[in-house]
């Protein structure tokens, strides 16, 4: 089925909620408060790229009996069940995230400081963890409709004065331990599946590199014809693995065989994405999945994404790529963003 325009009654309802949101939005970055008023775009895009959203086509993988082959080879994404993360922790985390995001914009800017960082308008960070500059960018055509927190998990045990942020980081610490366990279990199973040397592969996943990105996608009421209707544009993750905990709103879409599929929110399941590093480690047997995030007309969405990378200095060797480290990859990505304006990615390392 193709996502269509909403029926008129629904649209009126949404428009009403839209104006309520506009009034209650001092926590949003300023450009997300006043909304462009032109027409179409998301819908136009859907006519060009229809989205399948009726069924849930995403392969399901049970952590207790990890059958990964098809999901990793053909999709590069799967839904993880029986993962052992307590449902209360998943919910608690999102509730805490909502509390942090509902602080006034200016407070978030001043309170969320090193080693945490606060960004908005772009998910692309510079190595220090700060967002690529979006300051004063309310007119930027390619602004992403998202704000977020970057949390390097290894640096979490530091003194935080603000009680909301302090209790959030305690929950994050607990969550980080679970996610490190999941990433290791899944990666070890992938190594076996791919027939890779387990000793050599060990350094290709380092839990000390784990970061969590917490996102809030404000509602986007208009169908502006700018790219601003996207929470996140089409991309692949640079990680080995990314593990997503999303709320009930939905909006994530993945590309398979040139078709877009919605990744429906299903309570207590996690979504595992394979990133560019995993594609290289597997010598292209596994796929780094292309995905994007659509914003909702009336509801804000919160998602929490864990990313894990190869250890510092760990060299990835394969037949399709020149040997490279994750740092080489990141340097290239930063350079490409500066020079061509986007991430070129693995192509740069092809043998």
Ligand X SMILES: O=C(O)CCC(=O)C(=O)O
The C-alpha angle with vertex 39 and arms to 33 and 40, in degrees rounded to 5, equals 110
Question: Residue 103 or 304: which CB sits closer to ligand X?
Answer: 304
CB 240 within 8 A of CB 182: no
As measured in angstroms, the least distance from the Cβ of 289 to ligand X is: 10
Choose the one of Fe ion, ligand X, none that binds residue 244, judging by a C-beta under 5 to 8 angstroms depending on kind. Answer: ligand X
What ranges make up the beta strands (E) of 6-146? 51-52, 60-62, 77-81, 117-120
250 contact, one of ligand X, Fe ion, none, CB 5-8 Å limit per kind = none
d(CA 22, CA 62): 41
State the minimum distance, in angstroms, from the CB of residue 232 to Fe ion: 7
In the complex, least distance from residue 232 CB atom to ligand X, rounded to whole angstroms? 5
Give which of Fe ion, ligand X, none residue 205 binds (C-beta under 5 to 8 Å, depending on kind): none
Nearer to ligand X, 179 or 293 (CB): 293
Q: Which residues of the shown chain bind ligand X in the complex (CB under 6 A)?
A: 123, 213, 215, 232, 237, 244, 246, 252, 291, 293, 303, 305
- Which is closer to ligand X, CB of 237 or CB of 300? 237
Question: Which is nearest to 53 in space by CA: 204, 254, 206?
Answer: 254
Please write down the HEC assignment for all residues of 187-200. Answer: HHHHHHHHCCCHHH
CA distance 44 to 271: 28
Q: Among Fe ion, ligand X, none, what does residue 289 contact (CB within 5–8 Å per kind)? A: none
Residue 45 or 237: which CB sits closer to Fe ion?
A: 237
Shortest separation between residue 237's beta carbon and ligand X, angstroms: 5
Identify whether the C-beta of residue 325 lies closer than 8 Å to the C-beta of residue 313. Answer: yes
C-alpha separations of 195 from 22, 224, 283, 285, 336 in Å: 54, 48, 12, 11, 33
For the CB of residue 79, give the shortest distance to ligand X in the complex, in Å: 13
- Binding site partner of 303, from Fe ion, ligand X, none, Cβ cut-off 5-8 A by kind: ligand X
53 vs 237, which CB is nearer to Fe ion? Answer: 237
Q: By the criterion CB under 5 A, which residues form the site for Fe ion?
A: 237
Quick one: what does residue 252 bind among ligand X, Fe ion, none, with the CB cut-off 5 to 8 Å set by partner type?
Answer: ligand X
Instruction: Select the residue whose beta carbon is closest to ligand X and give its number.
Output: 303
Bridge-based pairing of strands 147-152 and 206-217 is antiparallel
Residue 281's φ and ψ, nearest 5 degrees, are -60, -40
Question: Which residue lies nearer to ligand X by CB, 201 or 231?
Answer: 231
CB of 16 to Fe ion, least distance (A): 32
Q: How far is the CB of 94 from Fe ion (least distance, A)?
A: 18
Dihedral angle, C-alpha 47, 53, 57, 61, nearest 10 °: 120
Nearest distance from C-beta of residue 271 to ligand X, angstroms: 8
- Count CB neighbours of 59 within 10 A: 16
What residue spans of 207-297 are helical by DSSP H?
A: 276-281
Main-chain phi, psi angles of 176, to 5 degrees: -55, -35
The residue among 275 and 318 lying less far from ligand X, judged by its C-beta, is: 275
Task: Give the C-alpha separation, 333 to 18, whole Å.
Answer: 37
Nearer to Fe ion, 237 or 300 (CB): 237
């Amino acid at each position: 089925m193709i996502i269509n325009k909403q029926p008129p009654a629904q649209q009126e309802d949404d428009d009403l909620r839209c104006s309520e949101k506009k009034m209650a939005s001092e926590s949003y970055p300023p450009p997300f408060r006043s909304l462009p008023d032109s027409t179409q775009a998301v819908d136009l895009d859907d006519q060009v790229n229809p989205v399948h959203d009726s069924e849930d086509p995403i392969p399901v993988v049970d952590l207790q009996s990890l059958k990964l082959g098809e999901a990793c080879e053909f999709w590069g994404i799967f839904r993880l069940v029986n993962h052992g993360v307590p449902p209360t922790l998943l919910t608690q985390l999102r509730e805490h995230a909502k509390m942090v995001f509902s602080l006034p914009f200016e407070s978030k800017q001043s309170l969320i400081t090193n080693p945490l960082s606060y960004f908005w308008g772009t998910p692309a960070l510079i190595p220090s963890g700060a967002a690529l500059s979006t300051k004063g960018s309310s007119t930027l055509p390619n602004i992403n409709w998202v704000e977020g927190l970057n949390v390097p998990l290894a640096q979490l045990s530091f003194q935080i004065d603000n009680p909301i942020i302090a209790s959030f980081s305690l929950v994050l610490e607990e969550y980080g331990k679970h996610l490190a366990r999941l990433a290791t279990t899944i990666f070890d199973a992938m190594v076996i599946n791919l027939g890779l040397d387990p000793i050599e592969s060990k350094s290709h996943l380092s839990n000390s590199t784990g970061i969590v990105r917490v996102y809030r996608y404000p509602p986007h009421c208009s169908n502006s014809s700018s790219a601003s209707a996207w929470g996140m544009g089409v991309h692949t993750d640079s990680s080995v693995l990314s593990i997503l905990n999303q709320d009930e709103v939905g909006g994530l879409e993945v590309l398979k065989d040139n078709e877009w599929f919605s990744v429906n929110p299903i309570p207590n399941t996690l979504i595992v994405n394979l990133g560019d590093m995993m594609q290289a480690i597997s010598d292209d047997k596994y796929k780094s999945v292309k995905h994007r995030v659509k914003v909702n007309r009336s509801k804000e969405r919160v998602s929490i994404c864990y990313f894990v990378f190869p250890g510092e200095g760990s060299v990835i060797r394969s037949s399709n790529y020149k040997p490279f480290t994750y740092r080489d990859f990141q340097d290239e990505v930063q350079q490409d963003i500066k020079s061509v304006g986007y991430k070129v990615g693995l192509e740069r390392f092809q043998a």
